């Protein structure tokens, strides 16, 4: 159980922060950037939850917000196995089941979707883009030779699937895609040159 008696410790005043295994890294290290962005994603989901109607998808978002703390805990302790909370394939399979359920009722896509529509959809689209950034940062971390074997590969799969789920949930928030705002290539260009 986590217990926080003090909010400030002053230990980060030197520009470093502690990992779950006690090691200290610079606050700009790719590992810290990766799980910091996962934390940012959780905050954006908090706003998406506020704008979501009560129901199953709202409960899913609350579950995912909790799982993002699991993702952060996984990233906070380097190593593919050993101590610490680790994501398993079950996390990702659950997201895939959610995607399939939501996608089955959506209008077929005829163009790319612009972020927007309802407030709920807009927040879900923002969450999707933050999720993609978190995924990019984790893959950047994995690309470092010193970190390659210290990141659970399930984290990348989970974030990849989560961004897909957030996309279909945004479409569902736009009346199952009927109120999506579709990209119109060149739609803002004048019809005839001046």
Is 31 contained in some domain?
A: yes
pTM strictly above 0.75: yes
Q: Is residue 10 part of a domain?
A: no
Cβ neighbours for 10, distance < 8 A, ≥ 6 positions apart: none
Percent of the chain exceeding pLDDT 70 equals 82
What is the rounded distance in angstroms from the CA atom of residue 98 to the CA atom of residue 165?
7
What's the total number of domains in the chain? 1
Residue 85 domain flag: yes
177, 112 contact by CB (below 8 A): no
Give the pLDDT score at 117. 94
Query: For residue 191, is it within any domain?
Result: no
In a domain, 51, yes or no: yes
Q: How far apart are CA 81 and CA 79, in angstroms?
A: 5
CATH code for the domain of 38: 1.20.1200.10
Can you tell me the mean pLDDT for 152-174? Answer: 97
Predicted confidence (pLDDT) at residue 81 exceeds the cutoff of 70: no
Please write the tens of the pLDDT for every residue from 56-79.
999 999 999 999 999 999 998 887
Question: In which domain, by residue range, is 113 found?
Answer: 19-182
Could you tell me where the DSSP H helices lie in 51-118? Answer: 56-76, 89-103
Write down the pLDDT at residue 186: 86
State the pLDDT at residue 30: 87
Give the tens place of pLDDT for each residue, 91-124: 999 999 999 999 999 989 888 999 999 999 999 9
115: in domain: yes
Residue 4: pLDDT band with limits 50, 70, 90: low
| Residues composing the chain | 194
Alpha-carbon distance of 32 to 29, in angstroms, equals 5
Residue 156 falls inside a structural domain: yes
Residue 9 covered by a domain: no
Q: Write down the pLDDT at residue 148.
A: 85
Q: Report pLDDT for 53.
A: 86
């Amino acid at each position: 159980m986590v217990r926080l008696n003090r909010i400030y410790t002053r230990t980060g005043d030197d520009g470093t922060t502690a990992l779950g295994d006690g090691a200290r890294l610079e606050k700009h290290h790719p590992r810290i950037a990766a799980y910091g962005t996962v934390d940012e994603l959780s905050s954006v989901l908090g706003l998406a939850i506020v704008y979501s109607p009560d129901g199953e998808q709202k409960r899913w978002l609350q579950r995912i917000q909790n799982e993002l703390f699991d993702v952060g805990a996984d990233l906070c302790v380097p190593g593919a196995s050993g101590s610490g909370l680790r994501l398993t394939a079950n996390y990702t399979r659950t997201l895939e089941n959610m995607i399939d359920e939501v996608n089955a009722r959506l209008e077929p896509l005829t163009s790319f979707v612009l972020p927007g529509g309802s407030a709920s959809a807009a927040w879900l689209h923002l969450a999707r883009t933050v999720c993609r950034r978190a995924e990019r940062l984790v893959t950047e971390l994995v690309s470092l030779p010193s970190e390659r074997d210290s990141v659970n590969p399930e984290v990348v799969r989970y974030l990849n699937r989560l961004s897909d789920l957030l996309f279909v949930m945004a479409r569902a928030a736009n009346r199952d895609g009927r109120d999506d705002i579709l990209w119109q290539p060149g739609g803002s260009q004048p019809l005839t040159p001046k």
